Structure 1
Amino acid sequence: MKYLIIILTLVSAGLIISGFAFELENSQKLIGSGVAVLFFLVFPIFSYYRWKDRDVKDYMLTKENLDKMRESQKEKKY
């Protein structure tokens, strides 16, 4: 999965750079497809790869988490 993300990032960067560097008749399409690959493939795959083993409840503001934050703030003050 990590290598797929790296390869797709390099491909999209290559498309964007080649679109800017070379004066082709479809250079805008190269830039657009590079950006599309980056935002529609690389970012979602990267987000899934980084968050697949984590519990979302740890990052939500629930009453228990707010109480834990208040307790830790009180301990830091003293």
Structure 2
Amino acid sequence: MKYVIYTLFIVTLGSIIAGFIFDLPYSEKLIGFGVLGLFLIAFPVFSYYRWKDKDLKDYMLTKENLKKMREQEGDDRNL
């Protein structure tokens, strides 16, 4: 999965750079498809890959997590 993300990133970035460098009649389309590919395909795949094994409850501000943070903050002050 990591190599798919790298490949998508390089292809979309290459499309954007090629659109800026080469003076072609479809340069603007290369830039547009590169940007669309980056933000509609590469970034969501990357986000899924990074979050797939994580528990979302660990990152939410619930009463239990706030309590843990306050307890940890109190422990850090005593050092």
Query: Given the two structures, how large is their TM-score scaled by the length of structure 2?
Result: 0.96
Q: How does 1:1-78 map to 2 (within 5 A)?
A: 1-78=1-78
Shift of 1:25: 1.1
Runs of 4+ residues deviating >3 angstroms: none
State the distance in 1 between where 2:19 and 2:61 align: 44
Matched to 2:27, the amino acid is S
Count residues with an aligned counterpart: 78
Unaligned runs of 5+ in 1: none
Unaligned runs of 5+ in 2: none
State the distance in 1 between where 2:69 and 2:23 align: 56
State the distance in 1 between where 2:77 and 2:14 align: 51
Percent identical across equivalent pairs? 60
Shift of 1:26: 1.1
Shift of 1:28: 0.6
